[in-house]
């Protein structure tokens, strides 16, 4: 042992390395030696801890099941676990990873598992962001501050709490930026790292096509660091192969289509033209021009968006961080990469005129957060002391964490059970064989999800028709064919053509005068509207839903004569002292047919589900004229 130590001490190479290290250490600006008391030889410990903290936050606020009817998350929660085909551009990587993830996780429902996948990828993005900022700035506190700013930006937080593609896309953005900067910092020539980098680019393109927006900044950075990359050379063949090979994942689409699988809209055509229409999302190009769904946002709107994400404090810190970046000439290529990536992504979002264009600006928020973190290395006389830098870094991080002035609201979807409970109630309707449920795309996707994930409602076929005229035509055809037909919501123009009965959250359509309603378990024979409307009785049931207890009240109406008024119902839940705890006003039969359309003497079964406060002991139902608000009658229903 002593001999080995003596040899090391006499080794001239060791003295040379020590001398060079001391020389380099002395040449670095003070900011680059920032926070050694927090640093460690294991460079990934702090980013991993930051990522773990982000995961705990995201996982604890993740939606517990399906949370929305009319967005892409519900589609992915059905498509990924069943390995279906998603809407353009197909998202093969997300579908395969998400599907595998949902089948590997042993607990929870499909939707929650895929929501958790977003929490995992979102937390990994935050960890990489911390490491990236630390590498560029040379400061661990810069990485922590950047991670804090971005991880708590409300829109990013939202995307980590439900099944969506943007958390995984953010991970690719951070990974590509980190890989480029890391490879440039290593002693190995960038050219030797190009297959890995280009392979990562190709893989990102199998997930989200906006990954191409990273390429301008990436190309500028690589050519800045190594101009010889532009010179034609035999290695280009290998580089191109590395870029294109991951794109073979798109073969998933025709392979699944050949197995009889289609997208939810049924639009995917398994032809060469149909494949490219889907992969290139050719129909989505109209959103760059005027169209019926176009949304125009002003510069003020975009400023408000960034204020909502990082607050005014964050914007001020970002501006100071940009000043600090300009003062570190040796890192200009890296800072240019970050700036160009943010600007290009923001430019796309500004010109992509859709309702949710803000999600396409999330990479710009990520890049802005890196500049926020860089404020730590701003050279000044106050930052010459390590302890002062620690104090300033802690204060800046505290401002981001604890004082989010003018930022958006805190995100917590952990209790969002309403859509789940609605879908379960719809799927648990006692459907006759060969039934059809007609509704909007999101409603039918929720029913299809419950059929696939929970094996509920298997006797019904979901029929998604968004166009009202097409729904009317389908209703006419189904009733004529004696198909048991259910509607999810109102449909103008059919109220006086058919008869109806409530079935859970649905309304069944019958031939006129042939509705089968059954009999109430509790009879009342209460007369209203001067005797023109009679309440024959009611059923009551308290259900323990995932979102809390709910009261299902079934009212059995019978008009004694033609009703001229459109009556509405006011449901008021009262406690033992008669104090009102909750109130909801609704139309009977979910507004599918107004009381003016009801046939005299035909019984009408009317179902309503109401959240039930813990202290409720009585339900007061008031019938009133929709136009004049004049009361036509009331009935008190005890709940105990």
Give per-residue pLDDT as tens, 198-223. 999 999 999 999 999 999 999 999 99
Q: Is there a domain that residue 17 lies in?
A: no
Query: pLDDT band for position 396 (50/70/90)?
Result: low
Domain end, chosen from 402, 429, 444, is at 402
82/212 same-domain check: yes
Confidence at residue 409, expressed as pLDDT on a 0 to 100 scale:
83
> What would the mean pLDDT of 310-316 be, rounded to a whole number?
88
Any domain includes 168: yes
For residue 235, the enclosing domain spans 42-402
Tell me, yes or no, whether 578 lies in a domain: yes
Average pLDDT, the chain: 88
**401 has pLDDT over 60:** yes
Where is average pLDDT lowest: 77-91, 200-214, 324-338? 324-338
The yes-or-no verdict on residue 34 having pLDDT over 70 is: no
Based on the domain organization, do 393 and 255 belong to the same domain? Answer: yes
Given 402, 432, 465, the domain boundary residue is: 402
| 425 assigned to some structural domain | no
pLDDT digits (tens, 9 = 90+) for 542-599: 989 999 999 999 999 999 999 999 999 999 999 999 999 999 999 999 999 999 999 9
In a domain, 48, yes or no: yes
60: phi then psi, degrees, rounded to nearest 5: -75, -15
> Of 379, 402, 425, which closes a domain?
402
- What pTM does this model have? 0.88
Domain count, the chain: 2
32: in domain: no
Segment 132-158 shows an average pLDDT of 93
**pLDDT score of 230:** 83
Residue 268 lies in a domain: yes
Q: Give, as one character, the DSSP assignment of residue 551.
A: E
More confident call, 285 vs 608: 608
Question: Is the model's pLDDT at 4 over the cut of 60?
Answer: no
CATH number assigned to the domain comprising residue 631: 2.70.50.60
Integer Cα distance of 441 and 79 in angstroms = 14
pLDDT: which is higher, 298 or 17: 298
Whether residue 389 is found in the same domain as residue 528 = no
Residue 334 lies in a domain: yes
Confidence band for 403, pLDDT divided at 50, 70 and 90: low
Cβ atoms within 10 A of the Cβ of 527, count?
13
The full 3-state SS of 484-545, as one line of letters, equals CEEECCCCCCCCCCEEEEEECCEEEEEECCCCCCCCCCEEEEEEECCCCEEEEEEEEEEEEE
What's the token pair of residue 391?
């104090």
Residue 41: count other Cβ atoms within 10 Å of its Cβ: 5
pLDDT of res. 416: 94
Distances (CA, A) of 69 to 93, 274, 357, 548: 24, 27, 19, 20
């Amino acid at each position: 042992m002593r001999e080995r130590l003596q040899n090391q001490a006499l080794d001239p190479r060791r003295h040379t390395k020590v001398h060079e290290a001391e020389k380099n250490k002395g040449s670095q600006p003070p900011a680059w030696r920032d926070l050694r008391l927090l640093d460690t030889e294991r460079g990934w410990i702090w980013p991993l801890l930051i990522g773990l903290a982000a995961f705990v936050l995201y996982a604890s606020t993740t939606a517990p099941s399906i949370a929305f009817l009319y967005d892409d998350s519900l589609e992915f929660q059905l498509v990924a676990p069943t390995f279906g085909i998603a809407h353009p551009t197909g998202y093969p990587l997300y579908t395969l990873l998400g599907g595998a993830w949902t089948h590997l996780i042993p607990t929870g429902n499909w939707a929650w598992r895929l929501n958790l996948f977003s929490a995992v990828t979102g937390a990994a993005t935050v960890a990489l962001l911390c490491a990236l900022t630390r590498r560029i700035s040379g400061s661990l506190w810069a990485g922590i501050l950047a991670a804090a700013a971005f991880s708590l930006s409300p829109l990013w937080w939202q995307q980590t709490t439900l099944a969506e593609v943007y958390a995984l896309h953010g991970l690719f953005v951070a990974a590509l930026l980190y890989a480029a900067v890391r490879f440039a910092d290593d002693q190995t020539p960038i050219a030797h790292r190009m297959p890995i980098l280009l392979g990562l680019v190709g893989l990102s393109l199998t997930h989200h096509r906006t990954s191409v927006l990273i390429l301008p900044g990436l190309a500028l950075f690589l050519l800045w660091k190594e101009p010889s990359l532009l010179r034609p050379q035999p290695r280009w063949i290998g580089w191109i192969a590395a870029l294109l090979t991951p794109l073979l994942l798109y073969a998933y689409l025709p392979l699944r289509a050949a197995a009889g699988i289609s997208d939810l809209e049924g639009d995917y055509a398994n032809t060469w033209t149909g494949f490219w229409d889907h992969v290139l999302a050719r129909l989505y190009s109209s959103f760059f021009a005027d169209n019926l769904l176009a949304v125009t946002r002003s510069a003020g709107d975009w400023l408000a968006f960034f204020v909502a994400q990082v607050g005014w404090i964050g914007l001020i810190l970002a501006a100071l961080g940009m000043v600090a970046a300009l003062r570190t000439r040796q890192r200009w290529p890296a800072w240019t990469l970050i700036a160009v990536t943010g600007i290009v992504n923001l430019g796309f979002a500004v010109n992509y005129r859709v309702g949710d264009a803000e999600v396409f600006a999330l990479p710009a928020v990520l890049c802005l957060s890196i500049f926020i973190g860089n404020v730590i290395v701003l050279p000044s006389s106050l930052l010459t002391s390590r302890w002062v830098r620690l104090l300033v870094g802690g204060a800046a991080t505290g401002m981001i964490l604890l004082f989010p002035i003018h930022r958006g609201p805190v995100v917590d979807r952990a209790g969002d059970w309403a859509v789940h409970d609605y879908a379960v109630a719809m799927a648990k309707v006692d459907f006759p064989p060969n039934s059809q449920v007609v509704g909007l795309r999101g409603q039918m996707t929720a029913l299809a999800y419950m059929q696939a994930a929970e094996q509920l409602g298997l006797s019904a076929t979901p029929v998604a028709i968004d166009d009202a005229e097409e729904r009317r035509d389908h209703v006419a055809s189904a009733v004529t064919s004696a198909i048991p037909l259910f509607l999810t919501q109102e449909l103008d123009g059919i109220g006086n053509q058919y008869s109806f009965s409530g079935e859970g959250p649905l309304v069944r359509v019958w031939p006129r005068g042939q509705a089968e309603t059954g009999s109430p378990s509790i009879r009342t024979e209460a007369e209203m509207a001067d005797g023109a409307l009679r309440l024959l009785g009611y059923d009551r049931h308290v259900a323990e839903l995932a979102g809390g207890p709910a009261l299902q009240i079934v009212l059995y109406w019978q008009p004694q004569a033609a009703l001229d008024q459109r009556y509405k119902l006011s449901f008021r839940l009262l406690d033992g002292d008669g104090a009102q705890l909750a109130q909801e006003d609704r139309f009977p039969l979910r507004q599918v047919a107004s009381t003016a359309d009801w046939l005299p003497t035909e019984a009408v079964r009317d179902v309503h589900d109401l959240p039930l406060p813990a202290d409720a002991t009585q339900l007061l139902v008031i019938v009133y004229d929709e136009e004049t608000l004049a009361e036509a009658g009331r009935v008190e229903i005890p709940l105990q």
